[in-house]
């Protein structure tokens, strides 16, 4: 897994890193995660995926995590995980990434959410 930021400097570093990684001759698929994506940067999700697809020829997938500061701040202030703090775009994106990494479907995700919510109520 390779993680990079969605800003211009972060994407340039990520692209260079993917080129270097490709130069190592790895045959293992690489999962690319772009963190803190936001519309204010001026790129659509499809543009970011297309750009990175050119550099990561062995990509297992490009995942975009939204810059959802409100959700991250709620979790941080409450001292809880994102699923425990309710629905958000960041939580959904992370859940989709976990599903792909683990091969789990939405049923497994719902089960996890029930367990974390149950712990929250018991505190």
Work out how many domains the chain is built from and give that number: 2
Which residue range forms the structural domain that includes residue 77?
A: 68-123
In terms of residues, how long is the chain? 123
* Span 65-122, pLDDT tens digits: 999 999 999 999 999 999 999 999 999 999 999 998 888 765 555 555 554 555 544 4
Q: Do 6 and 63 share a structural domain?
A: yes
Return all residues near 8 (Cβ < 8 A) that are at least 6 apart: 41
Q: Do 61 and 10 share a structural domain?
A: yes
Q: Alpha-carbon distance 93 to 14, whole Å?
A: 19
* Span 12-66, pLDDT tens digits: 999 999 989 888 887 788 889 999 999 899 889 999 988 888 887 666 788 999 9
Torsion of CA 12, 14, 20, 21, to 10 degrees: -160
Q: Do 90 and 50 share a structural domain?
A: no
Instruction: Please say which residue of 25, 49, 67 terminates a domain.
Output: 67
pTM over 0.85: no
């Amino acid at each position: 897994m390779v993680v990079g930021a969605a800003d211009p400097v972060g994407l340039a570093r990520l692209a260079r890193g993917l080129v270097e990684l490709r130069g190592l001759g790895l045959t293992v698929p690489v999962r690319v995660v772009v963190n803190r994506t936001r519309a204010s940067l001026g790129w659509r999700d499809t543009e970011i995926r297309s750009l990175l697809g050119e550099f990561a020829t062995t990509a297992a997938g490009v995942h975009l995590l939204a810059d959802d500061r409100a959700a991250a701040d709620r979790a941080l202030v409450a001292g809880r995980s994102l699923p425990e703090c309710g629905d958000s775009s960041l939580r959904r994106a992370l859940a989709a990434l976990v599903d792909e990494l683990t091969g789990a479907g939405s049923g497994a995700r719902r089960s996890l959410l029930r367990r974390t919510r149950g712990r929250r109520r018991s505190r």
